[in-house]
Amino acid sequence: MSTPGTIVSVLFRGAHLAKKRPALVVSTDWYHANRPDVVLALITKNINLATAPTDYVIQDWQQAGLHLPSAFRAFLETHPATTIIHEIGHLSDRDWKEVQARLRLAVAVT
Q: What is the pTM of this model?
A: 0.91
Range of 44's domain?
A: 6-106
DSSP 90: E
Residue 18 inside a domain? The answer is yes
pLDDT digits (tens, 9 = 90+) for 6-59: 999 988 776 677 778 899 999 999 998 999 999 999 999 999 999 999 999 999
Q: Going by DSSP bridges, is the β-strand pair 19-25/86-90 parallel, antiparallel, or unpaired?
A: unpaired
Greater confidence (108 vs 64) lies with 64
- Which domain CATH number covers 20? 2.30.30.110
| Cβ-Cβ contacts under 8 Å for 86 (sequence gap 6 or more) | 8, 9
- CA dist., res. 63 & res. 86, Å (int): 17
pLDDT band at 81; cut points 50, 70, 90: confident
Residue 57 inside a domain? The answer is yes
Please give the pLDDT value at position 11. 84
If one counts the domains in the chain, the total is 1
Please give the pLDDT value at position 108. 86
Please give the pLDDT value at position 13. 76
Please give the pLDDT value at position 1. 64
State the burial class of residue 56 (Cβ atoms within 10 Å of its Cβ: 0-12, 13-18, 19+).
buried
For the sheet with 6-12, list strands across it: 56-57, 71-80, 37-44, 19-25, 6-12, 86-90
